[in-house]
Every structure is written in structure tokens, then in C-alpha cells.
Chain A
Amino acid sequence: MLELTFFNVTNGLIIGAFYALMAIGLSLILNLSGVINFAHGGFLVIGGYLAFTLRPYIGFWGALLVAPFLTAIIGFVVERLLIRRLYGRDPLYSLLLTFGLAFIIEDGTRQIWGANGLPFSVPEALMSPLSTQFFFITGYRMFMVAMVAIVVGVLFVLLRYTRIGVRIRAGTLDLETVAALGVNVRALRSLNFAVGIFLAGLAGVLAAGQIGLEPTMGDSLLMPSFIAIIVGGVGSLTGTLLGGLLIGVASGLTAVVFPSASEAIIYVMMAIVLLVRPRGLLGEEGMMS
């Protein structure tokens, strides 16, 4: 029983790390620009499919490096052409826009790459499990966790110590003042959006290795990201990270006793957080109200 619990908790952490990656990208965009990016799952899909197309030319590692950047560029273009026009308006409109974008992306990927699922192999080196006892901890899962840890770590360092990072954090709290201080807020938002999309694209490449590629795969990953943000607290990236890991672990723990409820538990957690501490675990009071 203890072994089973340990297995599932570790597994939950691995899944949680992945949710956190998605959620942090979403959170970045939400915090600075006030945009709920319904198309985040779509960008994940784009990242995965781009990696699939690039793979025969530059290999797995090349695709891992390049695909997220390409996705970020696409995101940057989308932000500049479409989303930028909606910042002054009611948040409803940017939400609807990303909603429409999600449709276009899903149909577009189906048109370009076909409706059937596509396989995406990871390098041999990553495939085997670490040991026969811990057979479910495959090299690839460890690699995913490592990637998430590195990228999130780099992101936090950037946000804390670079000028742009400080500006983004300041902008989250009070964008008007930041603008008044002479910062080019437009460029900041575009860059921030691109970073968020970069994370989505990266999540897509990692997901492709884990679950293959399929035009509708973004949908199922969008909801846990939302919940991670709600649980962790809107406005706090650390909170989102924590939220992602928490719901992953909760899911893993539930799988020990009641496997069919392992997905339901994340909704239950959200409900509890909303009842007991509506701002989320690390959320700031007054954010987004």
C-alpha cells in the first residue's frame, strides 16, 4: 500500500509539473494583459505539430529547441495584429477573440496535418524506465520534469533580476504607473504574450512525446490549467506553480483509493478553495476584482 502510494504521489508530481508549465504561461498572459487565452491549448497543439514537422530535419533535440520559439513568434504576431486592439475594451472581447482563434487553430491543424493521430517518438536514450522497481518513472517523464524545472527556474530568475522581468511584475500590479514611468507598455505586453506562448509551445512538444499528436489534444489540458490558476491564486506565478503541483499530487493520491475520481478531485479542490479562500492560496486580495 505504501509502495502504491509512493508510486502515485511521484506520478502526480510529474503530471503536476506539466500542468504547472501550461498554467504558468496562461497566468503570465492573464496577469499582465487581463486576457483569458482560450487559444492556449491551440498553441500547445501548434508547438507539438511544428516539432513533428521539424523532427526529420533537425532531430528531436533540434525540434525541442526550435518549435517553441516558432510558436512564440506566431503568438507574437497574433498579439500584435489581433489582441492588441482589444486592450482598452471590456475583457469579454479578448476572451471571445481567443475563443474564435481556438476554432481556427484546431481546424487549421486538422487541415494541414490530417485528422488522424500522429506518432512522435522520443530518443531511445530517454525511453527506458529508471529501474524495474520504479518502472513507471521512465526517462522521458524525468526529462519532462527536468525541462519544466529548468524553464520555470529560468523564468523566475528573469522575472526577478532582469529589467524586463521587473517591469512585467510591476505591470501586473499597476500598469498605468509603469506606463507613466516611460516604459513601452505595448512592447512589454507583446513580449510577455510571446513568453507565455513559448511555454505553451514547449508544453506541446513535451506532450507530443508523451501522448502523441492529435488536433483536439489541447482541449483536455486547458481546464486543469485554469484550475491550477484558481487554486494557486490569480496574480501569483508562484501560486500557479504551486497550484499545478498540488492538483497533480491530489490527482495521484486519489488514484490510489478511487481511480475513477482522480480527475474529479481537481474540481473538488477548486470548489473548496473558492469556498474557503476565494483569492486562492497565494493570491493577492483585490486582484482582478
Chain B
Amino acid sequence: MIRPFAALDRRTVIKAGAALGVTQIAAPFVISARGETPIKIGVDNPLTGTYAAPGKNENTGMQLAVDQLNAKNGILGRKVELLIEDSTSGDAGTAVQKARKLIERDNVDFLVGNVNSALAQAMAQVSNEKGILHIVPGGHTDGITGVNCKWNVFRVCNTTRMEANSIVPLLFNTYGKKWHFITPDYAFGHTLYEGCEADLKKLGGTITGNELTPLGVTDFSAYLIKARAANPDVLIVLVQGNDMVNCLKQISQFGIEKQLHVAGTQQELESVEAMPPEARVGIWMFEWYWKQPGTTPGLDQFIADIRKRADGKVPTARTWFGYLTIHAYALACEKAKTIEAKAAAKALADLEMPPEIKMQPNKVYFRGGDHQLMLSAFIGELLHKGDGDPENLFKVNHIIAGDSSAPPVSETGCTMQIPA
């Protein structure tokens, strides 16, 4: 009887493992000669699981920003160091643990994260407890700059209310007043629906139905059957990520977009890239898009820089979130002349983003009252067959300013308590 792995027994494995282990443990104790201590930025974002793609894109944007800063003068003359941890896509325990690790063990000066709103909020509790400045690049739940707003937490991506307010009037005027919804059954979905419902009712529209779909469902036939039977003017698809991809695929497979108009609020390039061409239908809102009408300062350079780092792919809104996060922090520290959290936070509030950072028309700034970034909404249509540029999957028709679609601070439920 031949046993090919007879040689690979326990002893060999232990010895190999020990040798490997020693080299690994030795590494952190290597002290490199450095002049001034660097500013440490801790990133606690998903690198594995469902949100790995947006998380990775955000990190790419951040890395570019850090390299750009270090090529010049760093922040206040000090180099910037990015410490990256995987928060996983849904394990709050790990995300919180990594946040603590970054803050307590690695002594970061600034915390960034998370794509997953729930994890972002859990991390915000920790950062607030420790008094560290914290920017959430891509976690969408309203509470982060609403009911749960904190003096040290800022958020880049928009709120569900902003999304609804930006697109609902447009769709109403273009398509009609009877709407049917497909809503993901979790907090984000519910608030998004409520926002759309409120805006629609104000304009005088009616809702023919709201299908609540469980997260992660792959088959939307039952809901689409019902939606079609209700015969609305517009079918609003609020599901995100993979759910969105499947829903749109099935919509085009069933030929539904031929009978009624299809639209939604938020769309992401990561999802669109995962769709086959025939599923690219409807009117949507992107939080930032790389191909814009007219000329935008800094945009071409940004696209070129990102292509080099992302295997030739174009930047997505997520890339831009990460990029802006780091530069915003740098600008705030420069303005406050210190990296101390309270001073930096004060400086960041209402600070206007310069053209090469914001890369869009309209004024972009973190609103002082709730620390929500007033970013523009890029509204347009998904391109079935493209417009000559095989990379361009979306045509931007309107760019609506953030502060015109954001509800006033008094309506967000945010009562910011700024410590002395």
C-alpha cells in the first residue's frame, strides 16, 4: 500500500510551522529609523464577504490620497500611515474588536469605516467613547448623521432622505403618479421607502403596493408578478447590491421594462458591472460618477491614477468616498493647525471641499449641524447598449446639489452635543 504523504507527518509540519512562526513574530519588532512620528489613520472596512468589492474600492481611493499627501508635505509636515483592518462584512464583534485594536493598541489618530451601516454605528460608539475623529465613507443608514449623530463622527455618502428628495420629483414629472415599490426588508430599505412615500404623497402621487423582500433573496418572480398585476406607471426598485442585480436581471428576462418604467434611488457601479448588458435598464441615482458632462477639474488625473491601481478599471463612487475622506481629514487638520480631534472636528464642519477633491459642480461640504456631507446626486439612465464608449454604462443627465435635496438639520433628529 503506497501512502504518498507518509513523509508529511506531524513532526515536519510542526517544524515548518515553528520556523514560519518565528519569522512572522520577529517582523513587528523591527524598528525602522524615522524622523517625525507619522500620523496614523486606521481603516476598519470589509475586505471579505458581501461588501468586499465596495470596501476594496474605498481603500483604493484612500491609498491614492495617502500617497498623494506623502508625495508633498504629508499632513502638517508629518507622513501619513494607513493601517488597514478587515472588519468582515457583517460580524459586528470583529469590527468593534478591530476598532479597539486600532485605537488602543495602534494609537491611530483618525478612524475610517464602515460600508455596513450597522458596523459603522457600532464602531462610532467606540470612537466616540475614545474621542477619536471618525469619518464614515459609505455607510448609508440615516441615524449616523441623524438620531445617533456624534461630535466626532462625519459621513460622506448620502442619507436615504437625500436620495428620495433628489430623484422623486424628477421621476414623478417624467413618468407618472402611480408607483409600485420593491423594498429590502431592513432598516435602510424601510427608511428609503418612507422617504419616497412622503415625497410622492406631497406631489399627489399614489402607491399601488410595496413588496418587502427578504435580504439575500435570489428569486424576485413572486414580487414582480404582483407588481405587474398592479399596473403602476413606475416600478421603483430599492434593493441594493446582489439583490439589485438579480432583480434587474429578472425584470429584463420577464420583459417588464417593456410594459412599465423602471427606476430606483441608489445605484452603484459595483452592481452595474455585475449585470449582463440586457439588465441595464431604468433611471437611477449615483452618488458620484466618473463620466460627467462638461469639464471637471482634477477628474481626468484622478481616473488615470485610479486605473493604474485598479487593473485599468474606472473609479466608482466608493473610490471617491475613500479619496475624499482622507483629503477632508488632511484639510481639516491643516486648517486647525493640529490633529487633535475636537479642533479638527470643528475645522471640518462646514469646510468646503476644493475642486480637485470634490470633482463635481455644486458646493460640497460637511454640514455643521449634522456632519453630513452635502454631495451631489448624479441622476441619469443606465445604458443598455452603451454610447460608443464600452466602459460607460450610465448617462448622467442631472447633477443635483446635496444641500438642495437634504432635509434641514431640524428634521434629521440630530442633536449634536459638542464637548467643551
Contacts and interface: CB of A to CB of B under 8 A. Distances in A.
In-complex A–B contact (CB below 8 Å): yes
Given A4-B229, A129-B255, A259 B222 contact: yes
Nearest 10 Cβ contacts at the A-B interface = A117-B274, A255-B222, A115-B52, A116-B53, A119-B276, A115-B53, A121-B276, A136-B221, A211-B218, A135-B254
Nearest to A12: B222
B224 A136 contact: yes
A210 interface: yes
Nearest to A252: B222
9 contacts: A4-B225, A4-B226, A115-B56, A117-B53, A117-B273, A118-B274, A121-B276, A217-B242, A220-B218
Interface of B: 5, 48-50, 52-53, 56, 185, 211-214, 216-219, 221-226, 228-229, 242, 245-246, 249, 253-256, 270-271, 273-279
B27 to A, nearest CB: 22
Interface of A: 4, 7-8, 11, 15, 81, 106-107, 110, 114-121, 127-129, 132, 135-136, 138, 140, 210-217, 220, 252, 255-256, 259-260, 262-263
Contacts of B226: 4, 259
Contact of A117 (B48, B213, B218, B242): B242
Contacts of B242: 117, 211-212, 214, 217
A135 B5 CA distance: 56
A127 B278 contact: yes
Contacts of B228: 135
A157 B274 CA distance: 39
A119 B246 CA distance: 10
A248 B19 CA distance: 52
Nearest to B229: A4
B246 A212 contact: yes
Contacts of A121: 276-278
Nearest to B219: A15
B49 A11 contact: no
B249 A212 contact: yes
A138 B225 CA distance: 13
A197 to B, nearest CB: 21
Contact of B213 (A118, A127, A210, A259): A259
A227 to B, nearest CB: 16
A136 B249 contact: no
Contacts of A252: 222
B274 A212 contact: yes
Nearest to B246: A211
Contacts of B224: 136
B47 to A, nearest CB: 8
Nearest to A136: B221
A121 B249 CA distance: 10
Contacts of A118: 274
Contact of A8 (B222, B254, B277): B222
